[in-house]
Structure formats: structure tokens, C-alpha cells
């Protein structure tokens, strides 16, 4: 806001050195104040921009860390499942290394016989087959459930 010096028309300004020097000094002070205000404004603006930029970076990093933590938890769950499956497979491998087990398996599952031997199918044999089929079905339903959970987790992650 500019202040106007309204002087009555009957007052005349002195044109001596002192008044000219004072007027010049006032003019310099006003100029310096303007420059100072501009500097303060620019410094404040740059500071605000830096603070906003850093705040945005922090928020983005927090979101990424949260996402990585969710992925870590999911990976740990998958690791446990895979380790359990690996233990089962290793157990089966050890059993298949045993000749007696392989012989029993071939005789029971595929009805292989020794020379001159006759094999009769008893109801207990059918019960074993039914148990195996039931076990396979339950494993398939567990796999389907885990794949559905993965889909649900992906949908939740994409909605966040």
C-alpha cells in the first residue's frame, strides 16, 4: 500500500541538499524493504515446496513399505505351505526307496502278483481306494481354497 504525502498547496518543499538526501534515503529504505519482502517470500516459497515434496515422498514410501509387508506375510504363508508339501514329498521319496514298500504298493494298487499267485479283491481293499480318493478330493478343495484366497488378497491389495 502506498502512502501519499498530501501536502497543502500553500506549503512548498525545500530544494536543499538535506531534504534531497532525506528523500533519497527514504526512497532507498523503501526499496530495501521491498527487496527484503521479496526475498522472504521467495525463501518461504522454496521452503514450502521442499517440505511438500518431502512429505509426498514420505507418504509414498510408507505406502510401499506397507505393501511390501503385506507381500512378505503372504510369501511367508506360501513358504510354510511349500515346506509342508516338501516334507510330504520327501517322505514319499524315502518310502519309494524302500523295496518292501514299493512291492506292497504295486501289489495293492496295481494288483501285481508273484508267479502262480491269485489275487482276490476284498472290501477292505476298496475301502483303501475310497480313502485315497477322498484324500485327493480334500487336497484339491484345499488347493482351490488357497487359490481363491490369493485372488481375494490380490483384489484387496488392488483396492487399497
Rounded Cα distance between 129 and 135, Å, is 10
Number of residues that this document lists for the chain: 160
**So what's the pLDDT on residue 124?**
64
Closest of 38, 27, 21 to residue 5, by C-alpha: 27
Asked whether 65 and 71 are in contact (CB, 8 A), the reply is no
Per-residue confidence (pLDDT) for residue 59, from 0 to 100: 97
Check if the beta carbon of residue 106 is closer than 8 Å to that of residue 112.
yes
3-state secondary structure of 112: coil
Q: What is the largest CA-CA distance in the chain?
A: 146
What pLDDT shows up at residue 55? Answer: 97
Residue stretches of the chain with pLDDT short of 50 = 1
What ranges do the domains of the chain cover? 21-112
Cβ atoms 86, 80 nearer than 8 A? no
Amino acid at each position: 500500500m502506498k502512502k501519499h504525502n498530501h501536502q497543502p498547496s500553500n506549503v512548498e518543499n525545500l530544494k536543499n541538499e538535506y531534504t534531497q538526501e532525506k528523500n533519497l534515503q527514504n526512497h532507498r529504505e523503501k526499496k530495501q524493504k521491498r527487496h527484503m519482502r521479496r526475498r522472504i517470500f521467495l525463501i518461504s516459497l522454496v521452503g514450502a515446496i521442499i517440505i511438500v515434496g518431502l512429505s509426498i515422498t514420505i507418504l509414498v514410501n510408507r505406502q510401499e513399505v506397507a505393501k511390501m509387508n503385506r507381500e512378505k506375510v503372504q510369501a511367508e504363508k506360501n513358504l510354510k505351505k511349500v515346506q509342508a508339501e516338501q516334507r510330504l514329498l520327501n517322505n514319499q521319496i524315502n518310502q519309494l526307496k524302500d523295496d518292501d514298500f514299493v512291492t506292497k504298493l504295486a501289489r495293492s494298487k496295481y494288483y501285481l502278483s508273484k508267479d502262480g499267485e491269485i489275487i482276490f479283491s476284498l472290501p477292505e481293499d476298496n475301502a483303501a481306494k475310497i480313502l485315497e480318493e477322498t484324500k485327493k478330493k480334500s487336497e484339491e478343495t484345499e488347493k482351490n481354497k488357497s487359490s481363491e484366497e490369493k485372488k481375494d488378497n490380490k483384489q484387496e491389495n488392488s483396492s487399497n
